[in-house]
A and B are shown apart, each in its own frame.
Chain A
Amino acid sequence: MVVNDLIPLGLVLLSVVVAAIIFPLPQRVARLRSTVNLVGAVTKLVLVVLLVPPVVAEGARPEFSVPFLPTGGGEAISLVLRVDPLALFFAGLSAVLWLLTTIYAIGYLKGTAYQSRFFGFFSLCVAATVGISFSGNLITFLVFYELLTLVTYPLVAHWGDEKSLKAARLYMRYALGGGVAVLVGVVWLTMEAGPADFAEGGAADVADFAAGSPTVAVIIFALLVGGLGVKSALVPLHSWLPAAMVAPAPVSALLHAVAVVKAGVFGIVRVVDDVYGIEVAWELGGLTPLLILASITIIYGSYQALRQTEIKRRLAFSTVSQVSYVVLGVTMFSMAGTAGGVVHLVHQGIMKITLFFCAGLFAESMGAHKISDLRGAGRRMPWTSAAFTVGAFGMIGLPPTAGFISKWQLGLGALDSPHPWVLVVLVVSSLLNAAYFLPVVYSLWFGQKEDEQDSEQEYDGADAPEPGTARTGDDARVHEPALLLIPALCTAGFTLIVGLAASLPFSPLEISRFIAEGVFS
């Protein structure tokens, strides 16, 4: 296939065009809005899939650039969009999940107000994500990174009540603060070492600069990673994430699986692997503190998740913990570890989005917000519960799910790396994961509703209930809307397929191994 240099630009603009069509649409034309949305999402997915063979197997690197920022006298710094395997990896995730989340959101928001605004910003959010994935240098990355902050604000604040606005403000404060730190880091690095084009194994200019003045290089590294750490919810910069759970369920799903949190982690991967280069970052001593921070985040996030009683908050803290696996992988300084971290970008995305889809379904169909509300839900919503179970097993890391592949790969990496103790972190965290997910799964399938237990206990003392009134209502199947259920089942299916077919060509694991080889080349 002939690969055109305009393809990356086209992929970014595709979602912008969709947004531009959707914004002015009046509320009532739901069908046209959904059609535009879905056509856009499918087109993007097809384009990304078509890009995989030439980029991964044939080494094509389509690139689009336009001069952007003037420099003092010299050549202007460009906005660069380039497709490399890592970029494609992330863009593929966003393409798949955009399609599914759009379907889900159409079902979820049916009949509510402000849908055009919602889907418009939703598309812009995806445009920002694609831009982030294709960014060819730090400036371009920064542009889309800030754009992402702005377009997710209206999504978090979507319901427009006090609580949403408060959460959105908190989110904005954290994100902009982090954005400023990244900006300062990027400006500084650009002044010292030029525009820092992403390159497999690190940018040569940056390596020279780091050799010359290691202290400054470390400070800049800390600024960049610290700023990116806000979005990726590294402890202690994570408190915006649980608060942002007030957003509509599809937004939470997208935020956690591919957009905001992932953008932060993806940025860290880029900085470590493609700007500094893993060797340089290791020699500077920047990796070990980050590794320790990631370990703390993993354990702390799991511990907090264990303490939550609300479903969405438990999932939020679980995200805090799980996303740091990616950071853990890329900072443990071994090829297998990097592959494990990178593959978890995708694996965590599909598993977590399954869980969020299900949480939304439970809330919509049964009004279940607390974990205790889920007792016995397996009988009333079997499909949703099955999907949730798959996602939860994935998070724990049970075979044959995607999570098992990630953790196996990370474990291999840990043994291979200078830090074998990381294995302990993995084991402890898996135990904690099991501790907060297994009870939920248990009560889904085997739990009984509280009032049932109560009524059984009080059965002989109190008046006998009218036969067949209370009990049938509880056990009856609840309608699971197809538009919401199908995406959840799809991602649950992917969780299994990706786990089972991990060694096939072009599977996420194979691609991430390929990327890791590039990093250590």
Chain B
Amino acid sequence: MTFPQFALGALTLLPLLGAAAAVVLPHPARRITGVVTAVVIALLTVPVLVTVTSGELPELVLGGFDAPLGIHLRGDGLAAVFLGVTSLVGLILTGYAAILPKSTGTFLSATAWVPGHPGFWPLWLGCWSGLNAVYLSGDLFNLYVALELVGLTAVALVALGGRKSWEPALRYLFVAVLGSLLFLAGVGLLASVTGTLDLQQTREALGGLEDPTPALLALTLMTIGLGMKVALLPMHRWLVPAHSSAPSVVSPILSGLVLKAALVVLLRCWLWAVPVLAGAEWLTWLLGGLGTAAVLAGSVLALRQDRLKPLVAYSTIAQIGYWFLAFPLLLPGENDDAELASGAYGAVVALAAGHAIAKAGLFTAAGFLKDRCGTDEIAALRGAGAHHPTLILAMGLCAVGLLGLPISLGFTGKWQLATAAVGAEHWWLFLVLAAGTLLSAGYLLRGIAPLLMQAEVDDNTPAANPVTVRERTGELAVLLLGVATLATGLLGAWVSTMLEVGSWW
């Protein structure tokens, strides 16, 4: 076994191990376990990235059972990009949670609600394990299991926020379970037709089938199920309460990383498991239409929010729309222009990866302000910028990424999408992109500009209490995410070369 192969296995199992250890450890030791695990995971990501960059495809068959039965891990380009992003964001957020434990929720100790929930650490590490497993899984059943792990730990993480978050968490649980069931039904249907669960074997078996109906039905079921988990409009209603009532370090995990797991599974289904189907075109157009609606409606709803965390949550809904805009371009159509399809695919990945970093930063900042000032009402936060210049700067940097202005992966993604749109002569896409960009400028300004204003009565600002060293360090973590938003903007070309490794074409 080579080292990159070892890393693949360790990336999925080590966080699980860390989670198990954290459950039995006393509370202060959990933090140390969490940080150590996060650092090791981040280091293990490096050999995988290096291998993929050199054009090789690391693969590992666990326990020696090969497909169709065994657990098959493939570190292809898609997996590598998301592993890298998750390690980066995960490491920074872990550090943030360790420095500011009160951001991990509140729990009822004897008689009073105490800030800082020790349950965060095992849940977060379990979630991370699930995320890595989703990226690396090479067969449908493992995808399902990993996605379930991510979903259930995410629900539990939301519930750490105290009594107010229980109702949204319950709602989230229903959606997550229903989505998983629909996905499982699709998987079952595919398995009954093809007799295998492995992605490549499924594709080959489906290619030999005469009748595309079962595959199409399965694809539809899986898409609806995953659409619920990604919160594609009109299945988005659960997201805003869940993401905005979650503890302040959990919201960025949910918005930045957990949603991406469902997106990766969706891409695996559409591009790897199922070959181009005759009747699937209407489905891509439907997804494109819903994406457009999400971009516009999500932005307009974000514009109408008076509180910061719901505003950021609605902006997530708008950003989700961008990933689906590319679907009509994603499958090589009649003219069979694979170059356009790969461009659209690169766009989705770049947009999602850029969103993971930028949104994690913005949500952390919003949560920080809420923790500090006791409220996230935009009007009440007026003038908070005077006491937190670093934080505001970081929010500005993240906003650049979300707007899709250069230099950021958001820009790279929009660029690739726009060029693919020109190539395919889908001019409407241009309009949606332009409208989305302008609307997002509107809501981001609405959220950030009041922080820069002078407070009406200076001493009355909730943020005026002295800032502790811990909080300053926490701000630096957010700034790190902001800087990463811009720095990753220079990696667009690298990302697209990585994506070619193990791609479906």
Is A bound to B? yes
Tell me which residues across on chain A come within 8 A of B340, comparing CB atoms: 72
Knowing A157-B449, A165-B449, A177-B438, say if A68 contacts B419 (CB, 8 Å): no
Knowing A68-B493, A117-B389, A172-B445, say if A187 contacts B406 (CB, 8 Å): no
Tell me which residues across on chain A come within 8 A of B453, comparing CB atoms: 160-162, 165
Knowing A71-B419, A150-B400, A165-B453, say if A176 contacts B339 (CB, 8 Å): no
User: Is the pair B441, A172 in contact by a Cβ cutoff of 8 Å?
Assistant: yes
Number of A-B contacts (CB under 8 A): 95
B188, chain A: closest CB distance, angstroms: 37
Query: In the complex the two chains form, what is the Cα distance from A165 to B450 in whole Å?
Result: 9
User: Is the pair B452, A69 in contact by a Cβ cutoff of 8 Å?
Assistant: no
Q: Which of A49-57, A139-147, A477-485 contacts B (4 or more CB under 8 A)?
A: A139-147
Query: In the complex the two chains form, what is the Cα distance from A146 to B412 in whole Å?
Result: 14
User: Is the pair B422, A187 in contact by a Cβ cutoff of 8 Å?
Assistant: yes
User: Is the pair B342, A73 in contact by a Cβ cutoff of 8 Å?
Assistant: yes
CB-nearest residue of chain A relative to B434? A180
CB-nearest residue of chain B relative to A192? B422
**Which residues in chain B, 389-410, are within 8 Å of chain A measured between CB atoms?**
389-390, 393, 396, 400, 405-407
Q: Given A73, A149, A150, which contacts B339 in the complex, CB threshold below 8 Å?
A: A73
User: Is the pair B415, A187 in contact by a Cβ cutoff of 8 Å?
Assistant: yes
A460, chain B: closest CB distance, angstroms: 51
B92, chain A: closest CB distance, angstroms: 19
User: Is the pair B492, A154 in contact by a Cβ cutoff of 8 Å?
Assistant: no
User: Is the pair B422, A191 in contact by a Cβ cutoff of 8 Å?
Assistant: yes
| Chain B binding surface, main DSSP class | helix
Query: In the complex the two chains form, what is the Cα distance from A161 to B383 in whole Å?
Result: 11
Query: In the complex the two chains form, what is the Cα distance from A161 to B455 in whole Å?
Result: 9
A70 at the interface (CB under 8 A from B): yes
User: Is the pair A180, B415 in contact by a Cβ cutoff of 8 Å?
Assistant: no
CB-nearest residue of chain A relative to B339? A72
A415 at the interface (CB under 8 A from B): no
Q: What is the interface residue range for chain B against chain A? A: 35 or more
A169 at the interface (CB under 8 A from B): yes
User: Is the pair B405, A146 in contact by a Cβ cutoff of 8 Å?
Assistant: yes
A433, chain B: closest CB distance, angstroms: 36
Q: Given A70, A114, A149, which contacts B492 in the complex, CB threshold below 8 Å?
A: A70
CB-nearest residue of chain A relative to B416? A70
A188 at the interface (CB under 8 A from B): yes
Tell me which residues across on chain B come within 8 A of A149, comparing CB atoms: 405
B77 at the interface (CB under 8 A from A): no
**Which residues in chain B, 450-471, are within 8 Å of chain A measured between CB atoms?**
452-454
Extra inter-chain contacts (20) besides given A68-B493, A71-B343, CB under 8 Å: A24-B390, A66-B490, A68-B492, A69-B412, A70-B416, A70-B495, A70-B497, A72-B342, A73-B339, A143-B406, A150-B405, A160-B453, A168-B449, A169-B445, A169-B449, A172-B445, A177-B438, A183-B434, A184-B430, A190-B419
17 residue pairs bridging A and B, Cβ less than 8 Å apart = A69-B492, A70-B343, A71-B343, A72-B339, A147-B406, A149-B405, A150-B400, A150-B405, A160-B452, A161-B453, A165-B453, A172-B441, A184-B430, A184-B434, A187-B419, A187-B422, A191-B422
Name the 3 nearest CB pairs between A and B, nearest first: A70-B496, A72-B339, A143-B406
Q: Using a CB–CB distance below 8 Å, which chain B residues touch chain A?
A: 339-340, 342-343, 346, 386, 389-390, 393, 396, 400, 405-407, 412, 415-416, 418-420, 422-423, 430, 434, 437-438, 441, 445, 449, 452-454, 490, 492-493, 495-497
Q: Using a CB–CB distance below 8 Å, which chain A residues touch chain B?
A: 23-24, 66-73, 76, 113-114, 116-117, 142-143, 146-147, 149-150, 154, 157, 160-162, 165, 168-169, 172-173, 176-177, 179-180, 183-184, 187-188, 190-191
